[in-house]
Amino acid sequence: IHYRKMIDRFEHELAIMRGRTKSMARGHHADLMSDRFHEMKGPASDNDFDDGDDAKNNNDNVITSQQMAQIRATKSKLQGQSSKWSTKATSANHSILALTTQIEHLRTHELNSYRTQIIALTNRLAQEQLNTQKFRDEFISTHKKGEGGIVPGGPGHALVQRKEIEQMESLDDYEDYVQRREDALWSKIDVLVEKYGKSSQREAEEWFGNGIHKVELDIEYPQFTVDLPPSSWPRVRGTFTLEMAPLDLMPIAVNLFLQQVHHKLWNGCSFVINAMHILQAGPHRYDESQTGKYDANVASLVDGFQNAKLDKMPFQEYHENYPHNTHTVGFAGRPGGPDFYINKIDNSENHGPGGQSHHDLHEEADPCFGRLVGGIEILKELNKIPVDGERGSLLLHSVVIVDSRVVISGRPEAKGRQVGNAGNGDGNQQRRQLLENGDGNNNRNPNGESARNENEQNNDQGSNRFQANRMPAMGPGRI
């Protein structure tokens, strides 16, 4: 339609130009006849301009030289305009020809393609309308029947909700309804997260006090020795000291790790990955029969975490004031745990919010719950142990956690009982005793053995170090 209108406009202008050209041609012909007439008459004599009555009467019929000059100027101007319009007419003819060619191309080629696309879009739109109506009917039907428990609040509330749903007419109404329910759900989640955090903080303070909490991990590893192959390096022991994050920032992750260490769940586990950015440990065991091979999620290790309900984070707890800086400690996985890692570099972006885009909720972050404050020189020695770069930087020789303990500085020894907040009373002490000895439901010590009788007193550097019996396990695997 657009091209047709352009063609009509150009044809109209061309007709006007042709009419003007013919008019100018007739004017030019009249000028030529006038010039020939004067040439035949010859030059004017003096008698033609005498002051007689005849000359005076014929004065109006005589063309003066000034008028002739004006006529010639007008003629020249008209000839220029005629030439200009002739050029425009030629250009218009070329444009018309080009537009005609384009129109023909559109008719024979692109127009059919556009028609096919329009038909496909029309069919798709019709299908989407059917789907929309189907979803709308299902939405109303589900809410009317109260299926799936999505209409809370009892019959009265359900009746109000049903009436509201029946009055919905547009997609915006449904989106607004769903958005309000989603906002209400998130509000409840926020309340649960807050309560969970306070409960974890209270439990950690009851078990381990409200001071600065530290954890010591005794590890055994092959020490680099010049002129010897790695398989012949002597095995030595060293200690990693981890300082936990403040409980008011990361209460759930800190309490989980303290409980894991206190119940000796990390004893016998291994550091298995030593990449450029992290050193990671988990309930895995080095296979002595094969270099660089590990049994992943060993039964005797994993079961301890699972039976004690200390294997995973309930959600990805994170606080912006405790990011994944160099030498901080975080839980790996979604949800986090039980594997943890030491950040060898600043991983605040990679392991912070939005850094793990391959997870479904990529905006989440790994929980960061502590930092390495002792044993950095050991970390440097572990970097000398060969790794298998093609298999995720697996250590080719075993690095084992042989012992672990929670360290609470400045507290007196508490042989035979757990150290908690002063003034907690017999109730909290009995609760801790029940958790240690087992309550018959396999919650802490499924064997029903008293962990208190197995606790060992250690006065290293004037600190109390808690120890408890290990848990049973299940489920072998391979890395």
Report the distance separating Cα 209 and Cα 244, nearest Å: 13
Once rounded to an integer, what is the mean pLDDT over residues 12-20? 70
Cα–Cα distance measured from residue 296 to residue 298, given in angstroms and rounded to the nearest whole number: 6
Length of the chain: 479
Report the DSSP beta bridge partners of residue 220: 237, 400
Q: What is the pLDDT of residue 429?
A: 45
Q: How far apart are CA 380 and CA 396, in angstroms?
A: 16
| Alpha helices, H only, 106-170 | 111-145, 154-166
> What whole-number distance in Å separates Cα of residue 260 and Cα of residue 232?
33
CA distance 96 to 111: 20
- The rounded mean pLDDT for the chain is 77
Burial of 22 (C-beta count, 10 Å sphere; 0-12/13-18/19+): exposed
pLDDT at 2: 55
Nearest-angstrom CA–CA distance, 466 and 211: 15
Give the three-class secondary structure for 134: helix
**Residue 196 CB contacts under 8 Å (≥ 6 apart), including other chains:** 252, 314
Structure-block tokens of residue 201: 């903080």
Phi, psi angle pair for 463, to nearest 5°: -120, 155
Percent of the chain at pLDDT > 90 equals: 43
Q: Report the run of H or E that residue 219 belongs to, with start and end.
A: strand 213-222
pLDDT at residue 236, rounded to an integer: 98
Please tell me the distance from the alpha carbon of residue 171 to that of residue 317, in angstroms, as a whole number: 36
pTM of the entire structure?
Answer: 0.57
- 38: pLDDT strictly greater than 70: no
The pLDDT-based confidence of 99 (bands split at 50, 70, 90) is confident
Place of tokens 């790996």: 332
Statement: residue 178 has pLDDT above 90: no
